């Protein structure tokens, strides 16, 4: 299968850059329901234009609907999907399982791709998506190419090959939402992972070589094209809906060159100039990522979260007024530079040579002087972060041309006819009946000259075949008219995607509601992590329990109602039968629903009744709503499905802000990546932010869990009035006495 190069577009200029630099497909978002809300994105009029533009050039277009969908948005998002479908979008990229279920039934031939926000990381999860009719899955960034190649699926596989990395598993990050009420699951991520943190051991600071302990480098797979081309991956995805048009255009051009060269020669590489320009345009240093099993030290740049540029010289001296630099690369007025060690930067407004003369540019090997307006030290490495000449050159790109052929038939007493062929469509048009010339006959050369006048169109004529009598007169305006009409018609045909007739079911009751009796008793549940916590909760009348400690579960499973909490990252599902399980990822539904009793955790981002119904229909007896649902949003869900499945909310608890495959301790202690002994030291590790807030960390099963610095608390009375009857206490390291105080206080408030 031919590999697809998939590029992002945050605005129309970026879309054009990607199209004309060789993208096979574009993904973009509308003004709502996309996971990059801060990008310019596309309103409906712009979206129609974007779809037509891409199809004109033979490029597919995928639109993101990859946020959590709240109850009150369901009707609007279905209307939006209908709008996209009726304007021939090639696919929609979706996060919400409930929405996928609705779209699959309402629009049977709308192609759906499962967003990486769905946390697609295991075989069972992929099988569940297959059953939903998903055409393509965007796999988790944490999977290696080897793991991807071992996946058994009928779906196309898409994976990120370039751009920014989320250090938390996608769809599982609540950090931005908890800290700033800007949900990453709603396209509003504030990039908390790019902020400085201090590592603490038993509340004491540990010295690290950098403070940006959660900030990964930029993924770059350009050195691995051969492995990618020989893999199961169908679509190579570039991240970057927030990046500039020139940056995206250049990145696309490099991957296009690498892919094309590999297909022709079975090998491919970049020039030194290409690699230099790539670093100047944007990089946080580059990594092969988990895709190619990088070590943590190669994955992370804990010294800087920003674009670091390309080295162009060293600071030789610093005076009160001037900074002297010895250049190893050219520097030009209006370039941007960063002094690496001092972590300061500036735009070069004035540039002086060694004699003090103001100059526009100086090549490598020269001493250059700049105005001293930022903090800088002798010995600083000078990095170029903005190259004005490069930007101006990249802004003037050659537009892609579509090759076509033309066939001309011109015979006496017959209509003049021209046929155009773009190797997908054949269109013919006829003009007037032809007569013999009374003076100067029209030559074949003149016909060819007129037909080739398509400079202002997206087409280039590769061949013209002429079957023409001699001594005919063909009016020039007739030739021009047929050319213009044919090319306009071809544009319209190409812009309209040729798909089967769009099918839209009008059934408003999708999915069908299945009623079950509603529990009228108040049930308190508790997540406990040790025996002391469990016994404390038992004494206080807690009805049901969850625990991530399997030995604790086994000890009490015959005595009380207790569920074993599975991890939300499960590359492999161990066998369970007739157990009670609290599940945190989709694969567990497929793996365990037939032989076990299931409750779904808040990690599944349940935020509307359609998702609740899907879980209920697939063996989940009770669902925990997303902690991102506000009081009003919970009320909307309950109002819509008060008799559907049992609903649980978190009443109190330390919420997991992140789950990572990466461990910050490994860099601090320079340990090996796997089977590390640090966690066996029984010491408590945490991260402290720049405001002094401390975030506890737990390591288990080669995963790092970061918890929010304070527990969330909800007013139980408000939720009782809605009909909610299941309330959870989520404990972390609280003592028996603290648990008693917490539970008694919350019940007293009721």
Distances (CA, A) of 72 to 195, 540, 609: 34, 37, 10
Q: Rounded CA gap, 261 and 257, in Å? A: 6
The β-bridge relationship of strands 597-600 and 620-624 is parallel
The secondary structure element, H or E, covering residue 696 is strand 694-700
Instruction: Concatenate the DSSP letters of all residues of 231-273 into one string.
Output: SS--EEEEP-TTS-HHHHHHHHHHHHHHHHHHHHHS-----HH
How would residue 294 be classed by pLDDT, with cut points 50, 70 and 90? confident
Percentage, residues of the chain above pLDDT 70: 93
Would you state the torsion angle of the CA atoms of residues 480, 485, 486, 488, taken in this order, to the nearest 10 degrees?
Answer: 120
- Domain assignments of the chain as residue spans, ordered by start: 4-165+216-292, 310-395, 403-495, 523-655+711-749
The β-bridge relationship of strands 197-201 and 685-689 is antiparallel
Q: Quick one: fold of 310-395? A: Elongation Factor Tu (Ef-tu); domain 3 (2.40.30)
pLDDT for res 44: 93
Q: Rounded CA gap, 554 and 542, in Å? A: 18
- The residue-averaged pLDDT of 455-471 equals 94
Residue carrying structure tokens 């996971």: 35
Q: Rounded CA gap, 457 and 448, in Å? A: 17
How would residue 644 be classed by pLDDT, with cut points 50, 70 and 90? low
Question: What six digits make up the tokens of 733?
Answer: 């390291």
Residue carrying structure tokens 């609907």: 65
How is residue 683 annotated by DSSP? Answer: -
Who's near 175: CB < 8 A, 6+ residues apart? 168, 184, 192, 193, 657, 658, 706, 708
- The residue-averaged pLDDT of 272-280 equals 96
Q: Rounded CA gap, 128 and 587, in Å? A: 7
pLDDT digits (tens, 9 = 90+) for 510-541: 444 444 444 568 999 999 999 999 999 999 99
Indicate if the pLDDT at residue 79 is higher than 90: yes
The larger pLDDT score, comparing residue 265 to residue 441, is at 441
pLDDT for res 143: 97
Q: Which of 222, 214, 224, 216 is nearest to 292 (CA)?
A: 224
pLDDT digits (tens, 9 = 90+) for 185-240: 998 999 999 999 999 999 999 989 899 999 999 999 999 999 999 999 999 999 99
Is 305 in contact with 284 (CB distance < 8 Å)?
yes
Q: Which of 162, 169, 168, 268 is nearest to 225 (CA)?
A: 268
Peptide bond into 589 cis (omega under 30): no
- Please give the mean pLDDT across all residues of the chain: 92
pLDDT digits (tens, 9 = 90+) for 325-334: 999 999 999 9
Is 601 in contact with 582 (CB distance < 8 Å)?
yes
DSSP lists the bridge partners of residue 426 as 421
Question: What six digits make up the tokens of 234?
Answer: 């169908």
Q: Which of 527, 529, 581 is nearest to 552 (CA)?
A: 529
DSSP lists the bridge partners of residue 660 as 168, 704
The secondary structure element, H or E, covering residue 15 is helix 12-20
Instruction: Concatenate the DSSP letters of all residues of 376-400 into one string.
Output: --TTPEEEEEE-HHHHHHHHSPPPP
Who's near 51: CB < 8 A, 6+ residues apart? 61, 87, 88, 89, 497
Q: Tell which CATH architecture fits domain 4-165+216-292.
A: Alpha-Beta Barrel (3.20)
Q: Rounded CA gap, 106 and 479, in Å? A: 48
Indicate if the pLDDT at residue 663 is higher than 50: yes
pLDDT for res 325: 97
Q: Rounded CA gap, 114 and 614, in Å? A: 16
How would residue 667 be classed by pLDDT, with cut points 50, 70 and 90? confident
Q: Rounded CA gap, 351 and 635, in Å? A: 63
Q: Strand, coil or helix: what is 16?
A: helix
**Of 45-59, 257-271, 315-329, 654-668, which range is least confident?**
257-271
Indicate if the pLDDT at residue 38 is higher than 70: no
Indicate if the pLDDT at residue 273 is higher than 50: yes
Indicate if the pLDDT at residue 484 is higher than 90: yes
Q: Rounded CA gap, 348 and 369, in Å? A: 10
How is residue 627 annotated by DSSP? Answer: T
Q: Rounded CA gap, 481 and 500, in Å? A: 33
How would residue 747 be classed by pLDDT, with cut points 50, 70 and 90? confident
Is 50 in contact with 15 (CB distance < 8 Å)?
yes
Is 273 in contact with 239 (CB distance < 8 Å)?
no
How is residue 370 annotated by DSSP? Answer: E
Q: Rounded CA gap, 726 and 563, in Å? A: 15
Q: Rounded CA gap, 110 and 125, in Å? A: 21
pLDDT for res 236: 98
pLDDT for res 512: 46
Indicate if the pLDDT at residue 461 is higher than 90: yes
pLDDT for res 105: 93
Q: Rounded CA gap, 645 and 485, in Å? A: 60
Indicate if the pLDDT at residue 90 is higher than 60: yes
- Per 3-state DSSP, what percentage of the chain is helix, strand, and coil (rounded to 5)? 30, 25, 40
H helix and E strand count, the chain: 22, 39
Q: Strand, coil or helix: what is 317?
A: strand
Q: Strand, coil or helix: what is 78?
A: helix
Indicate if the pLDDT at residue 178 is higher than 60: yes
- The residue-averaged pLDDT of 596-621 equals 95
Is 614 in contact with 590 (CB distance < 8 Å)?
no
The larger pLDDT score, comparing residue 509 to residue 561, is at 561
Q: Strand, coil or helix: what is 734?
A: coil
pLDDT digits (tens, 9 = 90+) for 105-131: 999 999 999 999 999 999 999 999 999
Greatest pairwise CA separation for the chain in angstroms: 112
| 272-281 and 245-265 helices, crossing angle to 10° | 150
Q: Rounded CA gap, 93 and 397, in Å? A: 30
Phi, psi of 601 (to 5 degrees): -90, 170
Q: Rounded CA gap, 520 and 129, in Å? A: 34
- The residue-averaged pLDDT of 385-404 equals 95
Burial class for 334, CB neighbours closer than 10 Å (0-12, 13-18, 19+): middle
Q: Rounded CA gap, 744 and 736, in Å? A: 12
Is 260 in contact with 23 (CB distance < 8 Å)?
no
Q: Do domains 310-395 and 523-655+711-749 have the same CATH topology?
A: no
pLDDT digits (tens, 9 = 90+) for 341-372: 999 999 999 999 999 999 999 999 999 999 99
Is 733 in contact with 697 (CB distance < 8 Å)?
no
Rounded to the nearest 5 degrees, what angle is found at the Cα of 553, between the Cα atoms of 552 and 557? 125
Q: Rounded CA gap, 14 and 246, in Å? A: 7
Q: Quick one: fold of 523-655+711-749? A: TIM Barrel (3.20.20)
How would residue 31 be classed by pLDDT, with cut points 50, 70 and 90? confident
Q: Rounded CA gap, 478 and 151, in Å? A: 59
């Amino acid at each position: 299968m031919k590999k697809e190069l998939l590029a992002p577009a945050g605005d129309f200029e970026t879309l054009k850059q990607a199209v004309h630099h060789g993208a096979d497909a574009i993904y973009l978002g509308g003004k709502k329901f996309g996971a990059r809300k801060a990008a310019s994105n596309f309103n409906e009029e712009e979206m129609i234009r974007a779809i037509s533009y891409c199809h004109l050039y033979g490029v597919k277009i995928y639109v993101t609907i990859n946020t959590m969908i709240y109850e009150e948005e369901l009707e609007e998002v279905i209307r939006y999907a209908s709008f996209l479908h009726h304007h021939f979008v090639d696919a929609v990229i979706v996060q919400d399982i409930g929405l996928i279920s609705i779209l699959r039934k309402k629009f049977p031939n709308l192609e759906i791709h499962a967003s990486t926000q769905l946390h697609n990381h295991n075989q069972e999860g992929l099988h569940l998506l297959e059953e939903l009719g998903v055409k393509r899955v965007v796999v988790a960034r944490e999977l290696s190419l080897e793991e991807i190649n071992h996946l058994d699926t009928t779906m196309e596989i898409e994976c990120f090959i370039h751009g920014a990395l989320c250090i938390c598993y996608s769809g599982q990050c609540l950090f931005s939402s908890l800290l700033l009420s800007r949900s990453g699951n709603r396209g509003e991520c504030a990039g908390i992972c790019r902020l400085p943190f201090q590592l603490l051991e038993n509340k004491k600071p540990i010295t690290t070589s950098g403070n940006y302990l959660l900030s990964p480098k930029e993924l770059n797979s350009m050195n691995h094209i051969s492995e990618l081309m020989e893999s199961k991956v169908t679509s190579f995805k570039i991240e970057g809906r927030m990046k500039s048009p020139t940056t995206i255009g250049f990145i696309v051009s490099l991957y296009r060159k690498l892919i094309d060269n590999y297909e022709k020669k079975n090998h491919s590489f970049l020039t030194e100039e290409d690699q230099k320009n790539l670093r100047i345009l944007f990089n946080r240093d580059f990594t092969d990522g988990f895709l190619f099993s990088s070590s943590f030290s190669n994955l992370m740049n804990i010294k800087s979260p920003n674009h670091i540029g390309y080295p162009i010289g060293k600071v030789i001296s610093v005076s009160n007024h001037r900074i002297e630099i010895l250049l190893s690369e050219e520097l030009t007025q209006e370039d941007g530079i960063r002094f690496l060690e001092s972590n300061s930067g500036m735009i070069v407004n004035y540039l002086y040579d060694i004699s003090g003369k103001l100059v526009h540019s100086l090549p490598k090997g020269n001493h250059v002087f700049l105005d001293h307006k930022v903090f800088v030290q002798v010995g600083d490495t000078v990095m170029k972060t903005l190259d004005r000449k490069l930007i101006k050159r990249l802004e003037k790109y050659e537009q892609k041309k579509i090759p076509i052929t033309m066939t001309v038939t011109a015979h006496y007493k017959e209509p003049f006819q021209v046929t155009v062929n773009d190797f997908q469509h054949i269109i013919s048009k006829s003009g007037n009946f032809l007569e013999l010339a009374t003076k100067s006959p029209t030559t074949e050369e003149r016909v060819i000259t007129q037909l080739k006048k398509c400079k202002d169109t997206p087409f280039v004529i590769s061949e013209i075949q002429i079957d023409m009598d001699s001594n005919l007169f063909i009016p020039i305006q007739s030739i021009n008219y047929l050319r213009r009409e044919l090319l306009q018609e071809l544009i319209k045909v190409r812009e309209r995607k040729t798909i089967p007739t769009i099918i839209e079911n009008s059934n408003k009751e999708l999915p069908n509601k299945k009623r079950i009796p509603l529990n009228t008793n108040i049930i308190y549940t508790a997540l406990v992590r040790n025996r002391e916590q469990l016994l404390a909760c038992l004494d206080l009348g807690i009805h049901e329990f969850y625990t991530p400690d399997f030995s604790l579960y086994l000890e009490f499973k015959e005595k009380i109602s207790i569920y074993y909490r599975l991890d939300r990252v499960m590359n492999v599902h161990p066998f369970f039968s007739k157990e009670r399980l609290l599940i945190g990822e989709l694969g567990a539904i497929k793996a365990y629903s037939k032989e076990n009793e299931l409750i779904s955790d808040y990690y599944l981002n349940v935020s509307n009744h359609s998702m609740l119904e899907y879980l209920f229909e697939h063996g989940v007896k009770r669902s925990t709503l997303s902690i991102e649902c506000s009081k009003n949003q919970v009320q909307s869900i309950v109002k819509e499905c008060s008799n559907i499945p049992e609903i649980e909310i978190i009443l109190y608890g330390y919420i997991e802000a992140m789950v990572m495959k990466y461990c910050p301790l490994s860099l601090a202690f320079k340990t090996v990546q796997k089977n590390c002994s640090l966690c066996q030291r029984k010491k408590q590790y945490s991260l402290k932010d720049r405001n002094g807030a401390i975030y506890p960390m737990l390591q288990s099963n080669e995963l790092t869990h970061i918890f929010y610095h304070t527990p969330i608390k909800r007013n139980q009375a408000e939720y009782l009035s809605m009909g909610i009857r299941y309330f959870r206490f989520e404990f972390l390291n609280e003592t028996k006495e603290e648990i008693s105080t917490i539970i008694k206080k919350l019940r007293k408030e009721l």
